[in-house]
């Protein structure tokens, strides 16, 4: 069975390199709340009447719980990045996005993450209530989409996309990540980024709601590792890694957290 599926995966990769196409991925949705925001626009008085009219437009922003109790997913009902993801682990990393900067201004926000059609906000601690954060986040997101400003002035990276320079094994790993694993992880408000394959070990970076999630280890081993091993026998292990800058940011944040608690 696995050998047959591997052959099918190889055929798919060859077809993609030739036709440069992707097959669609079916996703699921489940929302627990919805917020409709009324946006009023002033219209000039009608000639001879003196009556002022206002047009009303509704922006419906849905929120969805994630497996991480510290992260909440906001769905504005329109594209955010359109494709790809972008992680803002700290306020200093949000220079390229005015919306991310505004969200970091909200007390209790630790990190921000953009997906194709969603925004994940992670709070600093489970003891911090979502009520105020959620209210201010909805206001910031509504104001941003009303402005018409670009979501980011920086580049959006698609690190898992298959490259012509990849060998067959790496191409199959990336294909499985792109088509079977990442869509599911993104539904939970996060993402998994391919960072390398060496000596049988696939190195992945978990971002968004996956960062610090209590179930991330289970997802990595029981979910991602098992699937990769089923299709690709050359995969012995899956390992979570962090960029050097992420490790430094995490250390600085922990030191600041300890100082505040003293």
CATH for 97: 3.30.1370.70
pLDDT tens sequence across 64-90: 999 888 999 999 999 999 888 899 999
Q: How many CB atoms lie within 10 A of CB 71?
A: 24
Q: Does 64 share its domain with 142?
A: yes
pLDDT for 217 beyond 80: no
Domain count across the chain: 2
Q: Does 12 share its domain with 65?
A: no
Which range, of 77-81, 117-121, 177-181, averages the lowest pLDDT? 177-181
The dihedral of CA 64, 66, 71, 75: what is its sign? Answer: negative
At 12 the pLDDT is 54
Q: Does 176 share its domain with 229?
A: yes
At 240 the pLDDT is 87
At 156 the pLDDT is 63
Residue 12 lies in a domain: yes
Mean pLDDT of the chain: 76
The dihedral of CA 205, 206, 212, 215: what is its sign? Answer: negative
Distance of CA 78 to the CA centre of its chain: 15
Q: Does 37 share its domain with 124?
A: yes
pLDDT band at 165 (very low <50, low <70, confident <90, very high): confident
Residue 236 lies in a domain: yes
Residue 253 lies in a domain: no
Residue 50 lies in a domain: no
- Structural domain boundaries, residue 18: 2-25+160-245
Long-range CB contacts (within 8 A, 24+) of 159-165: 159/193, 159/194, 159/195, 160/192, 160/193, 160/194, 162/13, 162/16, 162/17, 164/17
pLDDT for 206 beyond 80: yes
């Amino acid at each position: 069975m696995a050998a047959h599926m591997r052959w099918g995966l190889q055929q798919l990769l060859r077809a993609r390199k030739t036709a440069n196409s992707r097959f669609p991925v079916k996703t699921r949705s489940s929302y627990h709340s919805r917020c409709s925001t009324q946006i009023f626009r002033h219209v000039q008085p009608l000639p001879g009447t003196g009556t002022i009219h206002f047009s009303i437009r509704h922006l419906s922003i849905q929120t969805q719980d994630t497996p991480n109790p510290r992260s909440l997913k906001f769905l504005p009902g329109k594209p955010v990045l359109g494709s790809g993801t972008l992680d803002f682990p700290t306020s200093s990393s949000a220079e390229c996005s005015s919306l991310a900067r505004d969200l970091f201004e909200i007390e209790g926000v630790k990190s921000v993450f953009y997906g194709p059609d969603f925004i994940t906000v992670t709070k600093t601690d489970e003891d911090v209530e979502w009520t105020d954060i959620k209210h201010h986040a909805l206001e910031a997101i509504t104001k941003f989409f009303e402005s018409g400003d670009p979501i980011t002035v920086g580049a959006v990276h698609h690190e898992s996309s298959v490259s012509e320079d990849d060998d067959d094994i790496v191409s199959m790993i990336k294909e499985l990540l792109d088509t079977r694993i990442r869509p599911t992880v993104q539904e939970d408000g996060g993402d998994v980024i391919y960072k390398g394959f060496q000596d049988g070990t696939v190195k992945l970076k978990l971002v968004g709601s996956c960062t610090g999630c209590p179930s991330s280890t289970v997802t990595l081993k029981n979910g991602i590792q098992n699937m990769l091993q089923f299709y690709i026998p050359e995969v012995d292990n899956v390992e979570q890694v962090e960029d050097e800058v992420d490790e430094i940011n995490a250390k600085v944040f922990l030191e600041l957290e300890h100082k505040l608690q003293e």
